[in-house]
Amino acid sequence: KQEVTQIPAALSVPEGENLVLNCSFTDSAIYNLQWFRQDPGKGLTSLLLIQSSQREQTSGRLNASLDKSSGRSTLYIAASQPGDSATYLCAVERDSNYQLIWGAGTKLIIKP
């Protein structure tokens, strides 16, 4: 059974720092992995999608990596800004029926 874990559950850092959010999954048979952002009281914003054949994806200050063999993905945020404050969710799409398995999220606070 696929399980997705995100560590840490919460993170608070000063503005300007580079940071890494972690996501781990137990079954390497995945179709893709996605990182989402959720702002308080709002829905999800899709940030990056990494296909199972890819190693990383980049968008602006965000870089997501995928290591299927170790069951890990990281989301790297460079030069963090207060506007980056949100909950970041990792979700794995299973190879068999394409459903998403969600991590519990990391709540990120960037202090001005």
Partner 1 sequence: SQTIHQWPATLVQPVGSPLSLECTVEGTSNPNLYWYRQAAGRGLQLLFYSVGIGQISSEVPQNLSASRPQDRQFILSSKKLLLSDSGFYLCAGQRDSQETQYFGPGTRLLVL
Interface with partner 1 includes 46 (CB under 8 A)?
yes
Interface with partner 1 includes 98 (CB under 8 A)?
yes
CA atoms within a 13 Å half-sphere pointing along the CA-CB vector of 102: 10
Number of residues binding to partner 1, judged by CB under 8 A = 17
Give the span between the Cα atoms of 101 and 91, in whole angstroms: 5
Interface with partner 1 includes 60 (CB under 8 A)?
no
Among 44, 78, 79, 109, binds partner 1 (CB under 8 A): 44
Q: Which residue type is seen at 24?
A: S
In which residue are the tokens 């790297």 written?
A: 76
Stretch binding partner 1 (CB under 8 A), from 22-30, 56-64, 66-74, 99-107: 99-107
- DSSP letter at 17 equals -
**By rule CB under 8 A, what string of x and - marks binding of each residue 3-32 to partner 1?**
------------------------------
Stretch binding partner 1 (CB under 8 A), from 16-24, 44-52, 54-62, 70-78: 44-52
Q: Which residue type is seen at 25?
A: F
74 Cβ partners below 8 Å, 6+ apart? Answer: 20, 21, 22, 23, 64, 65
Interface with partner 1 includes 45 (CB under 8 A)?
yes
